[in-house]
Amino acid sequence: MLAAASAPAPAQWGDAGPTLVFFDWGKGELSNDAKAGLDAVATRYQAAPRPMTIDGHSDRSGADAANLASSRRRAGTVRDYLATRGVPGSAMTVRAYGETWPFIATADGVREVQNRRVEVRWAGAAN
């Protein structure tokens, strides 16, 4: 599942919100919707190259170390996919936060799909 705004005009891209990629529990594969959203990110990059950050997050359903590793792998999956679409590695900064920045506050041990996400943001954008 992916939530992404439609591609705005290049002059507005700095104001576009993040592209969010969600993952099923225990999975690291990109859905077709996620790929379509990331294709739009790559197209925007090709039209107006700009650095981006790729931040991985997890829910609180596992051990802290496992969640950090999972968020790192998922962010890497997004980075690798964007690289196949022409975004150079030098334009992407990948960070992993594990369960430290939930989108939805939950108790420890709770599975929440909105917390199992990768956020792609344009560097310097107010998003």
Per-position b or e across 106-118, b if 16+ CB within 10 A of its CB: beeeeebeebbbb
Q: What are phi and psi of 91, to 5 degrees?
A: -95, -5
pTM for this entry: 0.82
CA-based radius of gyration for the chain: 14
C-alpha to C-alpha distance for 71 and 77, rounded to whole angstroms: 10
d(CA 126, CA 81) in angstroms, rounded, equals 24
- Please tell me the CATH code under which domain 2-6+17-122 is placed: 3.30.1330.60
Model confidence pLDDT, tens digit, residues 42-96: 999 999 999 999 999 998 888 889 999 999 999 999 999 999 999 999 999 999 9
Confidence at residue 77, expressed as pLDDT on a 0 to 100 scale? 97
Are the C-beta atoms of 1 and 31 separated by less than 8 Å?
yes
- Give domain limits for the chain: 2-6+17-122
